[in-house]
Structure formats: structure tokens, C-alpha cells
Amino acid sequence: MAITSFCHRFMGYSMNLKPNIAIDGPAGAGKSTVAKMVAKKLGFLYIDTGAMYRAVTLKAYRDGVNLDDTKALGEMAAAASVELVAGHDQSTKVFLNGEDVTEEIRSPDISRLVSLVARVPEVRKRLAELQRAMAKQGGVVMEGRDIGTVVLPDARIKIFLTALPEERARRRRIELAAKGYYINQRQMEKEILERDRIDTSRETDPLVSAPDAEIIDNSSYSVEEVVGIIINRVLAGG
């Protein structure tokens, strides 16, 4: 659908705040691709909350913080400045204490460690506050693990996007290869499943589908179809 005709209908649809859209799901399910496309079509702000956990993890990694030391991690997260800056075409730059760490946070080392940092309640509390502040005005497409359940429980539209582990590992391998990191399929699947295990079993804000989320298996649809499902929900009023 053309963006202009959509905007017309959208403005008629609500004179109040624009709705927020929460997209949760495990690693490699295609959340970022879908969320960016939805944000672009609606003129909404795309927010990648995983990037914020990755930035805090990078800080811990550089500072040599023991990842079992939850107190130190909580203090570090409280003191760190983590900023997402929207660029052209839904690209987001990530700044840690003013330094652009957009590329570095995607390294395999950070991917392996991030779930351990994201288990810490104080880290989650701090980042969730920042995320809520970003969504206050409405009109965000926010992706993560706990957006529909904890960060934005009132989001008008909640999607839980999933896909088969083989498919998720395959996608992630291709993405990483494009950045110069080569990981074989079996290793990638192992790492993704381990991250899922930690994310779903942690005590604080585990990865779980919100009761009112629409669960979409991305293995059965094209990206355009998933985007279409979400846009239609927005047009229908949620």
C-alpha cells in the first residue's frame, strides 16, 4: 500500500496518540527486518532494545566485570549512558558513553555474553525505564524480548515472532558473514539455542509471549506478509 494513502487512513483512525507496536521473539526470528519495515511504512520510530543490552554488555566486557557480579553490573548499567540515535532508513546508531559502538556490539563475543548481562534485574530495570521514556509519545515499533509483557504492556499491537531454530541460525550466519564473521551452522544453532535457554529461563522478565500477543511463525511467511499482517492490524485499530 502506498504510504500516502495509508497516512490518510491512519490519521482518520486516531487523533490521539499513535499506537505503539511491540515485537518480541527469540534470536534470529526476523524481528529487526520486520520491525524496521513496519516502522518505515508507518513513519514510526524503530527501537532495537537488544542493542541497548548489547551496549551494556560491551561495557562490562571492556571493563572486565565479572558477569556473576550482579551488583557491579547493575551499578555499571546505572552509570552508563546508552543512546539510540535514529539515522536514515531505519538505521540506528548506538552510543555508549558518547562513543559510537554500533558495529562492535554485533560481534560474536558480545552475542555470546549478552544474555548473561540481560538476566540481571537492575540492568533490566534501568534499560526498561529508558525504553518506556522513548515510547511515551506513541508511534514506536519496539523489538525485544519483554516488550509486550513488561516494557509496554499497554502496547496496542503485540506480535511474538518466531521461526524454526535451523532457519534462525541460517539467517544469523548470513548476517554475520556479511560482517566478516564466519560461523558454521551447527555452532550457530548451538549458540542461538543456548541464548534462548537463558532468555526463557531467567527469573526476571523472561522471554515469553504476552497472553494477548499474536504469535507468528516467520518460517511460514515472507517478510512482506508478516509486515502486511501487522499493518492491517494497525489499520483495523489494533
Q: How many residues belong to the site for ligand CDP (CB under 6 A)?
A: 15
The minimum distance between CB 215 and ligand CDP, in angstroms, equals: 17
The minimum distance between CB 139 and ligand CDP, in angstroms, equals: 19
Residue 68: φ, ψ to 5°: -90, -10
Which of 146, 152, 189, 227 contacts ligand CDP by CB under 6 A?
146
Q: Is 90 in the site for ligand CDP (CB under 6 A)?
A: no
Residue with cell 554488555: 57
Which helix (H) or strand (E) covers residue 187, if one does?
Answer: helix 185-201
Which of 18, 145, 171, 173 contacts ligand CDP by CB under 6 A?
145
Between CA 123 and CA 115 the distance in angstroms is 11
Do the Cβ atoms of 27 and 167 come closer than 8 Å? no
Binding mask 155-194 for ligand CDP (x = CB under 6 A): ----------------------------------------
Number of Cβ within a 10 Å radius of residue 117? 24
Measured at the alpha carbon of residue 228, what is the angle toward residues 188 and 53, in degrees to the nearest 5? 40
Binding mask 24-63 for ligand CDP (x = CB under 6 A): ---xx--------------------xx--xx---------
Comparison of 16 and 203: residue with beta carbon closer to ligand CDP: 203
Measured at the alpha carbon of residue 199, what is the angle toward residues 195 and 202, in degrees to the nearest 5? 130
